[in-house]
């Protein structure tokens, strides 16, 4: 089993994430490509000491990117997790 810091790569702080955090107690994370919902739930328990009610995952697709006129490529694909916590719990990393 992987270390929890290898499963949860970083928290995502965006405008949509801030709105959902205030309304529905949902948090966004970038997670490892091979992480399952159960792995994410256990990693949150160990890293932040919170209980996840629901974990949803999705793949963020690569987008075209160009540097200069002829150099063309794509951004990387990565996995995002949207975690819903119990109403009385919060994660301090998001409170700036």
In degrees rounded to 5, what are phi and psi of residue 80?
A: -115, 145
Within 13 Å and on the Cβ side, how many CA atoms surround 59? 8
Pairing verdict, β 26-31 and 78-85: antiparallel
* Backbone angles phi and psi of 2, in degrees to 5: -75, 155
Question: Tens digits of per-residue pLDDT, 64-77?
Answer: 998 888 889 999 99
User: Which letter does DSSP use for residue 81 in this model?
Assistant: E
What are 40-94's pLDDT values in tens digits?
Answer: 999 999 999 999 999 999 999 999 998 888 889 999 999 999 999 999 999 987 7
Cite the DSSP H helix spans in 13-52. 15-24, 37-48
Which is the CATH superfamily of the domain at 4-87?
RRM (RNA recognition motif) domain (3.30.70.330)
């Amino acid at each position: 089993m992987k270390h929890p810091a290898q499963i949860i790569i970083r928290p995502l702080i965006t405008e949509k994430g801030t709105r959902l955090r205030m309304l529905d107690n949902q948090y966004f994370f970038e997670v490892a490509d091979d992480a399952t919902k159960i792995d994410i739930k256990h990693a949150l328990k160990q890293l932040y000491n919170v209980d996840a009610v629901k974990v949803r995952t999705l793949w963020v697709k690569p987008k075209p990117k160009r540097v200069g006129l002829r150099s063309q490529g794509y951004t990387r694909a990565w996995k995002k997790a949207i975690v819903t916590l119990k109403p009385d719990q919060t994660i301090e990393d998001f409170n700036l």
